[in-house]
Amino acid sequence: MKKIYLILALALTLGFVSCDEEYVTYSDAEYVMFAQEQSINMVLSDQEYFTVPVSSTIACDYDRTFGVEIIDKGSNAVEGKHYRLLSNSVTIPAGKLVADVKVAGNYENIEATDSLGFVLKLVMPEQLKWDLYEGSDQTNVVMYKGCPFDRNNFTGWCIITSLLLRDYPGDNAGYQRLIRTEAHPTEENTVILRSCFYDGYDLTITFNPENPANPLVTMDKDQVLSDEASVFGQILGDNHILTTHSRYYPSYFNSCQRFVELWNHVYVENLGQAVGTVGHFYNILEWISDEEAERLQRENGM
């Protein structure tokens, strides 16, 4: 994905060079392009528009305006239904290196599971296209829906599909488990996972909805996952298997589809001293209806 950092570095090296023919000191240096080959954007209910950045290699002493057109080929987003351009042109102001194409997404017409895309193209003279980056005058714009966070959507019945249970099943019959979850009575944005991986051991996870484009999930440190004897068949530390979120792999939640991708670090200690790491395990937590939970219990014995 092309970032604009190299372009900005070039511009800083060259200085602010005028585009006026009388003042050009670096020939063929003016190129204009989309800053990214693919622009991925979340569409929110209270969002007026999102932006797709356009950049130039140099700043000019006058405004530069370029046309913006939509390429239908390869698009599954429908203009007028899923989105609309706020303008069919973009202007890089005098003295500036960047400007934004503004796109209004239609939140109501985007489904929770949609991944919609379309192609934008800059309409400009051929000499402004940088041959070094083929297709830099186009970008693929991807849109997906971002639903408001509601902790209640992550309470009730939940199915866990877990690589931890696959590798260390304990008393579980397989790598899936049906559990109950509830809101923590005192901790904001935190839910309790009752008997999460193993019977009798509750865990908590905390949602961080402040940045909708980066919806992270964390776990408190040193939560007791299970005793060692039940899972390992032996005691290596103080008979407590501990867990927290992985520091190597971030965990995310999806408010629209009501699921969490949880990476947890599993480890063993003895009197507070590390004995060893069991591993970092990927888990999917999916919240379901009472009716679906009843069916799974009836048909699958979960």
Task: Report pLDDT for 19.
Answer: 55
- Which tokens belong to 82? 């899923």
- Please name which of 110, 120, 15, 142 lies closest in space to residue 66, comparing C-alpha atoms: 120
**In which band, very low, low, confident or very high, does the pLDDT at 210 lie, cut at 50, 70 and 90?**
very high
Task: Report pLDDT for 134.
Answer: 80
β partners of residue 253 = 260
Quote the CA–CA distance of 206 and 220 in Å, as a whole number.
Answer: 8
Query: Is residue 102 pLDDT above 70, yes or no?
Result: yes
Query: Is residue 13 pLDDT above 50, yes or no?
Result: no
Task: Report pLDDT for 28.
Answer: 52
Quote the CA–CA distance of 179 and 267 in Å, as a whole number.
Answer: 23
Query: Is residue 23 pLDDT above 60, yes or no?
Result: no
223-262 confidence digits (pLDDT tens): 999 999 999 999 989 999 999 999 999 999 999 999 999 9
Query: Is residue 206 pLDDT above 80, yes or no?
Result: yes
Q: Which fold has domain 5-146?
A: Immunoglobulin-like (2.60.40)
The residue written with tokens 């979340």 in the block is: 42
Domain spans of the chain, in order of start: 5-146, 151-300
171-200 confidence digits (pLDDT tens): 998 999 999 999 999 999 999 999 999 999
62-93 confidence digits (pLDDT tens): 999 999 999 988 789 999 999 999 999 999 99
pTM for the whole thing? 0.77
> Is the separation of the CB atoms in 42 and 215 below 8 Å?
no
Query: Is residue 101 pLDDT above 90, yes or no?
Result: yes
**In which band, very low, low, confident or very high, does the pLDDT at 6 lie, cut at 50, 70 and 90?**
very low
Range with lowest mean pLDDT among 4-18, 40-54, 240-254: 4-18
Query: Is residue 25 pLDDT above 80, yes or no?
Result: no
> Is the separation of the CB atoms in 220 and 264 below 8 Å?
no
- Which tokens belong to 110? 């985007």
Higher pLDDT, 15 or 174: 174
- Please name which of 5, 12, 36, 202 lies closest in space to residue 135, comparing C-alpha atoms: 36
Percent of the chain with pLDDT over 70: 91
Task: Report pLDDT for 12.
Answer: 36
106-136 confidence digits (pLDDT tens): 999 999 999 999 999 999 999 999 887 788 8
| Average pLDDT of the chain, as a whole number | 90
For residue 153, count CB atoms less than 10 angstroms from its CB and return exposed for 0-12, middle for 13-18, buried for 19 or more. Answer: middle
Query: Is residue 49 pLDDT above 70, yes or no?
Result: yes
Query: Is residue 140 pLDDT above 70, yes or no?
Result: yes
> Is the separation of the CB atoms in 138 and 35 below 8 Å?
no
